[in-house]
Chains A and B, each alone.
Chain A
Amino acid sequence: MGDDSLFLQYLLSGITKGSIYAVVAIGFNLIYSATGVLNFAQGEFVMLGGMIAVTLCAFLPLPVAVAAAVVIVALTGCLLEILFFRKLRHHTIMHMIIITIGLSIVIQEVALHLWDEKVRSLPYFSGSEVSSIRIFGASVSPQVLWVLGTVAVVVVLLHAFLRYTLQGRAMRACSSNPDAAMLSGINISNMRTLSFGLSAALGALAGCVISPITMTHYEMGAPLAIKGFAAAILGGLGNPMASVVGGLLIGVIEAFSVSKLPAAYNDVTAFALLLLMLFVRPHGLFGSPSGESVREV
């Protein structure tokens, strides 16, 4: 065990957490580009996914439980859009922000009362908590590979969906110019509902695969949402694929800061990075400073 393997250990743990931030960031981006709403309740989808899967796992096989959880949370996402945002089209950004914050609190409290304040987790997808795989001298839980694999597949599929399918292209059209999209016969309202559903499904899936490693807890949503947002900002808001880089970067920086800073200040790094990024380069690492688009959101 040298410094190299320790370095690798930190790096892998950073990438694992970072890939979850990336999924949350992609969820932010999907909803944001289709509706202009920045969904503060994004982290709650991750929490709900984990919670529902854990509950269903008691009487269903694991893959079925995960799939069911993803579907249920996706439907919840669609329902939220229909109930709260469909008729609010003409409200100001401030109103939208406040509603999603309210939703986030209510979902959290509902989860607290449906389940309880205990920490839960899904069983390891393969192996157990003690099994490990050695990669270049660092030992890794097989679950880490599940996380990385799932996130990679999801990112590729999503990219393909947005680029090559009719629905995906319609969604991109809505985000670049809603009026023109409507004129060419795209049902914008449905696209917005779809974006909520899709982003909820992504969050739920992330919540399931990460559950064996970081556990699921009713309060886990808010910090995740902010780190996911930091990842989205780092990559540049409105660019789902760039937020993958942003997410990984934040995860890795966070993992290495653990070795330098006291554990109590763990989260401070990510939040400070977010502030710094917002103040210095709010259009992100890869975005272009097209004045209005950043400042008018």
Chain B
Amino acid sequence: MLLKRLFPVIGFAALAIAVQLGAGALGKEFYLTQLTMAIYYAIVVMGLCLLMGFAGQVSLGHGAFFAIGGYTSAVLTTSDFSRFQDSLWAAALKRIHVLIPKADLYGGQVLTTTPWAAFVAAMLLTFLIACLIGYPALRLKGHYLAMATLGFCLIVNKIVLGTAWLGAADGISGVPEWNLAGGLVISGRSAVRVQNYYAACALALFLLILLANLVHSRVGRALQAIHDRETAAGAIGINTARYKLNAFVLSALLAAAAGVFLTHYTAGIGPSEASALKSVRYVALAAAGGMSNPWGAALVSTAINFLSLRGWFGTYDNAVFGAVLILIISIAPQGPLKPLGLWIRRLLSGARSAAGGEHAAS
């Protein structure tokens, strides 16, 4: 039993190492950069899996939560608070190292927020917004919820596009690197490429284990019950509204965290992160991996996003995601991995019995 639970963890770790060694051996280490980005995007998809596959709710607003996380940390770490230097709160924040003085590009002194503090702020803001949106939205179901979250996403996108201090159409660039701890730096520099790749893998793996445990816990079973039949779940005493809200907020937090990490990794963020198409893309990827299978979703979404970031799909990028959505839902609504596994097994046993048949004939 323990082995069965541990198997995917070991498999994922082995796969991550194999990919890094393979890329190194082929002299294509630069692949790891896009792979790292794809893994961060996969974290959004994992959160969405929890919401869609277990709580049974669709959100078309996760691009917005990603953007809220990314933009909060980008704004806080790039703006200069030195004009508030003499105020009481700035001094207090400086004392607890939330604000730190730094030399800017031209040698002047600026006062910016540390990435860690910005991360915490981004999480808090996302928590607040997710509760505000989630509380009324989750009383709605199906179509209504999808439309409400889509409306929220479009509002965030329009606000970002129309606000000068959020960089409008250009987005925010020049986000500093994030010194996590013990020399581990979230940054896109090629010197720390491998290190960052493993950091992203470790984060994703940690979150996957967390999700897997959550799903197998009392909370997970409650969510599963809500997914299957909400009225019945309520009748046996599950507080459906609260569980749905918790799942929604948790998955929003995962999206925002991914946004913070990716913003530091690519040193910037743009308004397209909050576009409706991005949100739809996350839903497509969650569906492509099998919604109630976070492991599969993480794997499939990393692979597809990696190909997309490498430009494999050319101008058909969005069309590929649309087609993936339609095909998977109409042919294999449980996700392609399980039917594929069955099919391969049947093919193998078919080949074996065919071989057996030939023996009998001869």
Contacts and interface: CB of A to CB of B under 8 A. Distances in A.
Interface of A: 38, 40, 84, 87-88, 91, 93-95, 97-99, 101-106, 108-110, 112-113, 222-223, 226, 229-230, 233, 262, 264-268, 271-272, 274-275, 278-279, 282, 294-297
A179 B143 CA distance: 23
23 contacts: A88-B330, A91-B333, A93-B141, A95-B333, A97-B142, A98-B283, A98-B284, A98-B329, A99-B325, A99-B326, A102-B284, A102-B323, A102-B329, A103-B322, A105-B322, A108-B318, A113-B319, A229-B147, A264-B162, A267-B154, A271-B158, A297-B141, A297-B143
Given A98-B287, A102-B322, A282-B144, A272 B155 contact: yes
Contacts, number: 131
A226 B154 contact: yes
Contact of A106 (B137, B142, B154, B323): B323
B161 interface: yes
Which of A40, A109, A230, A282 is most buried by chain B, counting CB atoms within 10 A of its CB? A109
Nearest to B52: A94
Nearest to A109: B319
B89 to A, nearest CB: 30
A106 B333 contact: no
Interface residues on B, range: 35 or more
Given A94-B52, A278-B140, A278-B144, A102 B154 contact: no
B151 A274 contact: yes
B47 interface: no
Contacts of B330: 84, 87-88, 99
B158 A109 contact: no
B326 A106 contact: yes
Given A101-B325, A106-B319, A109-B316, A268 B148 contact: no
A94 B142 contact: yes
Contact of B56 (A94, A109, A267, A275): A94
B315 interface: yes
Interface of B: 52, 56, 58, 60, 136-137, 139-144, 146-148, 150-152, 154-155, 158-159, 161-163, 168, 276-277, 280, 283-284, 287, 315-316, 318-319, 321-326, 329-330, 333
Given A99-B329, A264-B158, 15 more contacts: A91-B329, A97-B146, A98-B58, A99-B330, A101-B60, A101-B283, A102-B284, A105-B277, A112-B315, A233-B147, A267-B158, A268-B158, A274-B151, A295-B139, A295-B141
A63 to B, nearest CB: 33
B279 to A, nearest CB: 10
Given A98-B58, A226-B151, A113 B140 contact: no
Given A268-B158, A297-B142, A109 B322 contact: yes
Contact of B136 (A113, A267, A278): A278
A296 B139 CA distance: 10
Which of A233, A279, A296 is most buried by chain B, counting CB atoms within 10 A of its CB? A279
A174 B280 CA distance: 31
A81 to B, nearest CB: 13
